[in-house]
Structure 1
Amino acid sequence: MPYRIDLFAVFIFLGIVQGIFLSFFFLSKENRQIQANLFHGMLLLAMVGCTLEIFLMYTGYIVHCLFLVDFSEPLGMAVGPLFYLLLLSYVKGGVSKKQYGHLVFPVVYFFLELPFLLQPDDVKYNAYIWAYHPELPMRDVTAVYDARLFWVTDHATETILISLALYAILSVIVVTRAYRQKKESFWKPVHPVLRNLREPIVQMITASVIVLVVKLTNVADTGDHLFAVYVSIVIYFTSFRVIRRSGFFKHASLAEAPKYKSSTLSPDVQNALVEKLKLLMAEQKPFLQADFSLPELAHQLGSTVHVVSQVINERLGKNFFEMAAEYRVEEAKRLLREQPNIKVEEIAEQVGYNSKSSFNTVFKKYTGTTPSRFRAEKS
C-alpha cells in the first residue's frame, strides 16, 4: 500500500507538532496552577491525539503501528467535557472537584473499548481498511469474541457527535449567562475575559458542524483529514494568540527599570486576575485573618506569588501589604459605625490585627484620625 504524503498530510503533521509544544507551555509547572491553563493544555493534548490518529490513517503509516488504530476515541469523548470545564474556569474563576465528574465518561469509554484495543493486529488492520480503504481486501481472521461489545463503542462516531453537541449547548448556555450578567454584546465585548470566551465558542460550534458534515458526506472515515485540517488551524490560531500576548517582544532596555519587564503576563490575564481578586476580597474577605499573606492569597486565586504580586503592583498601584491594610481599614470603619458597643480592641482583632497600637497606626495613616475619634464623629 503506497503512502500518501500531500499538502493535507504536511499541514496536519505540522499542526500536531505545534499542538504538542503548545500543550507543554500551558501545562508547565507555573502555568498549570491556573485551572484555565490546565484544561486548555489537556484539551490540546486530546485534540493532538485525535489528529495524530487521523494523520497516521490518512498517510497509511498506521500499518507500522496498528496498535494505535482507534486509540483516540476516548480522547474524542474528552474534547467536549474539557472544553466545557475550560469555559467554566474562565467564567467562575475555577471549577469544583465535583465538576471533574464530567471527565468520568471518557475514562469509562476507554475501559469499554478495551476488548477492541486488545485485539490482534489483523483485526486492527481490517478496521483500518474498512474505514479508509473499503475497496481493498481484508485479512482473514477469526474473532474470538465481539470486539465491539457495547453500543457506544460500536457507534463511536455517533457517540462523539452527541458528546460534542451536548457540551456545545452547555457551553453556549454558560457563555450566554456570562454576557447577560455583564450586560455586554457577544460581537463587541469590552471585558477581556468575555473576549476570550467568544472565540472558543465559535470554534466549538464550527468544529461540531464540520464533523457532522464530513461524516454525512464521506464513506466511513475517508473525510476525517478535513476535520484534522480544521483542528490544525485552531492550533495555529491559538499559537498566534499566545505569541501576540507574549512578553518576549517587550524586553526592558538598560534605561528602564527591569521589574516585570520580562514578564509574559498579558493585559487580558491581568485584568481577569484583578476581577477574581476583587471578587474574592469582597465575598470571602480573607484579609480578616491575622495570618493573611501573599502566598495564601496566591493559593486562593490559583496563581503564583510572583504573578499576584505583579498584578497588585501594576493594576492596583500598591503592594500587597498596602492593599491588605486598605481592605482592613474599610472593614474596620464599617464595624465602628455599625457596632458602637464593641471595643476598639475587639474590632482590631476582627479585622486581622493582634495589636491595638498597630491597628491605630494603620487606621490613622489611611483615614487621618484614630478609630475612637472616627467612631465619635460618625455617631
Structure 2
Amino acid sequence: MNISNELLFFFSALGVFNALLISFYFFFVKKSNNNSNFFFGFLLLMLAIRVGKSVFYYFNDDLAQIFIKVGLVACILIGPALYFYIKSTVRQDAKIRFWKLHFLLLATLSISVGVLYPETHDPLVLGKLHWMTIIYTIWIFYIIATGWVIRQTIGKIFKRNEKLSSLDFWVLSVFLGNLIIWIAYKTVSYTSYIVGALSFSFIFYLLFLLIHFRKTKSAIFDKSFKYSNKKIEPAEAESLSEQLNYLLDKEKLFTDANLKLSDVASRMNILPHTLSQLINDNLGKSFTTLINEYRVKEAQHLIESNANIKLEAVGYDCGFNSKSTFYSVFKKVTSTTPAKYKESIS
C-alpha cells in the first residue's frame, strides 16, 4: 500500500473508528431510560459496521463473504435506526412501539438471504431484483418516513419568521447526513466505492464540529448579554416546556436526589443556560423551586394513595436526600407539615 492509499485508508476509516467509540459510549456510559440514547448509539454502530465493511472491501478484494454479509445486515438496519432515533427525539411524549419487530424482521431477512446465497452478497431475489437494490430501497423508505416525522422542522427552513432550535438543528443534521451517505453509496457506479466511507467520515466530523460551534457560540453570546436581551421564541418555549413537563411528570426525573439542571438539559438536547432561561422567564421560578414542587406533589400523591406509608420513606422516594429537607420544603410549599397533611387525609 503506497502513501496515497495509506492516507485514503486513514481518512476513510477515521469516522468508523470514532463512530464505534461513541456508539459504545451511548450504550454503556450514557445509558438511561431514554430510548433516544439507545437508538442513536445503535444508528452509529450500524453505520460504522456498514462503512467499515466498505473500507476493508475496497482495500482487500478477497475479503471473506461473511464480513461482507455482516456489513449488509448492518446496512439494512440503518434506516429503521434513523427513523426510531429521530421519532424518539422529537416526539418524547409518544410511546415507541414495534421497533424490536422492525429490527428483528429486517435482520432475519438479511441473514436468510446470506445463508441461502452463500456464494455471493448480491444475488438475484424475487425474480430480477438484486439484493443490494432491495436493501437500498428499504433504507430510503425509512429516510422518507423520517422526513415525514420532521416535516414541520423541515418546513421551518423555508419560512423567514421561523427559527431553528438547537433540537431542530440537530435532527436535521442527522437526517441530511444520513441522506447524503445513502446518495454516496447509491451513486458509487459513477464515482468510487470508497466515496461512501469518505462521506461518512466527513459528515461525522462536520456534524460534531457544527454542534460544538453552535453551542460555543451560544455560550459566549449569553456571557456577554443578559437573558433579557435574547428571549426564547414563544413557539420554541412552548415546545421546550412540553418536553420538560414530560420528563418531570411522566419519567419523574425529580426522584433522583442528585438531579442537576445540566442533567435535565442533556435529556432535552439543549444547553443548561437555555433551560435555566426557560424556567426563569417562562415559568417564573428557579430550577430548585420547580423540582421541589414536583417532589412535594408526588409526596402528596403517595400519602393520599397509601395510608400506611411511612413519611420518611415518602421523602426519599420523591427525591429528597434527608428527612429534614423533606419536612421543610413540604411545609414551605403546602403551608403544613407532612404529618398534619396525612392526618387531614385520614
3-state secondary structure, aligned to 1:74 = helix
Match of 1:362 in 2: 333
Matches of 2:274 and 2:163, distance apart in 1: 26
1:367-378 aligned at under 5 Å gives the runs: none
Match of 2:246 in 1: 279
Match of 2:30 in 1: 30
Determine if the alignment matches structure 1 residue 50 to structure 2 residue 44: no
Determine if the alignment matches structure 1 residue 87 to structure 2 residue 75: no
Matches of 1:158 and 1:190, distance apart in 2: 35
Larger Cα-atom Rg: 1
- Aligned match for 1:209, one of 183, 197, 221: 183
Matches of 1:230 and 1:115, distance apart in 2: 31
1:308-327 aligned at under 5 Å gives the runs: 315=276, 316=279, 318=286, 322-326=289-293
Mean alpha-carbon deviation: is it higher for 167-176 or for 322-331? 322-331
| Stretches of structure 1 lacking an aligned partner (at least 5 in a row) | 132-147, 251-270, 332-344, 366-370, 372-379
Q: Do the aligned partners of residues 159 and 297 (structure 1) sit closer, same or farther apart at CA in structure 2, a change above 3 Å counting?
A: farther
Aligned-partner residue type, residue 293 of structure 1: T
Match of 2:167 in 1: 193
Match of 1:337 in 2: none
- Aligned match for 2:209, one of 221, 236, 240: 240
CA positional deviation for 1:110:
3.3
Match of 1:14 in 2: 14
CA positional deviation for 1:293:
2.5
Match of 1:230 in 2: 199
Match of 1:140 in 2: none
Mean alpha-carbon deviation: is it higher for 93-102 or for 12-21? 93-102
Match of 1:165 in 2: 140
Matches of 2:88 and 2:248, distance apart in 1: 18
Whether the aligned pair in 2 keeps the contact of 1:19 and 1:45 (CA below 8 Å) is: yes
| Stretches of structure 2 lacking an aligned partner (at least 5 in a row) | 220-237, 280-284, 312-326, 342-346
Whether the aligned pair in 2 keeps the contact of 1:30 and 1:304 (CA below 8 Å) is: no
Aligned-partner residue type, residue 69 of structure 2: D
1:57-96 aligned at under 5 Å gives the runs: 57-59=57-59, 61-63=60-62, 65-93=64-92, 95-96=95-96
Matches of 1:176 and 1:111, distance apart in 2: 33
Matches of 1:184 and 1:169, distance apart in 2: 19
Matches of 2:38 and 2:161, distance apart in 1: 27
Whether the aligned pair in 2 keeps the contact of 1:85 and 1:95 (CA below 8 Å) is: no
1:150-161 aligned at under 5 Å gives the runs: 150-151=125-126, 155-161=130-136
CA positional deviation for 1:349:
3.7
Structure-1-length-normalised TM-score: 0.58
CA-to-partner distance for each residue in 1:95-153, whole Å, 9 max, x for gaps?
A: 52423332133322233134257x4xxx46xx6xxx9xxxxxxxxxxxxxxxx584399
CA positional deviation for 1:53:
1.5
User: Percentage identity across aligned positions?
Assistant: 18
Determine if the alignment matches structure 1 residue 41 to structure 2 residue 3: no
Whether the aligned pair in 1 keeps the contact of 2:26 and 2:38 (CA below 8 Å) is: yes
* Alignment: residue pair count: 288
Pairwise CA RMSD? 5.1
Q: Do the aligned partners of residues 78 and 42 (structure 1) sit closer, same or farther apart at CA in structure 2, a change above 3 Å counting?
A: same
Aligned-partner residue type, residue 193 of structure 2: D
CA positional deviation for 1:175:
0.4
Match of 2:235 in 1: none
Q: Do the aligned partners of residues 185 and 363 (structure 1) sit closer, same or farther apart at CA in structure 2, a change above 3 Å counting?
A: farther
CA positional deviation for 1:229:
1.4
Matches of 1:79 and 1:330, distance apart in 2: 42
CA positional deviation for 1:189:
3.0
1:139-158 aligned at under 5 Å gives the runs: 148=123, 150-151=125-126, 155-158=130-133
Structure-2-length-normalised TM-score: 0.62
Matches of 2:40 and 2:173, distance apart in 1: 13
Q: Do the aligned partners of residues 204 and 278 (structure 1) sit closer, same or farther apart at CA in structure 2, a change above 3 Å counting?
A: same
CA positional deviation for 1:306:
11
CA-to-partner distance for each residue in 1:337-356, whole Å, 9 max, x for gaps?
A: xxxxxxxx99x848x9998x
Matches of 2:40 and 2:62, distance apart in 1: 31
Match of 1:377 in 2: none
3-state secondary structure, aligned to 1:71 = helix
Whether the aligned pair in 1 keeps the contact of 2:86 and 2:171 (CA below 8 Å) is: yes
Whether the aligned pair in 2 keeps the contact of 1:23 and 1:45 (CA below 8 Å) is: yes
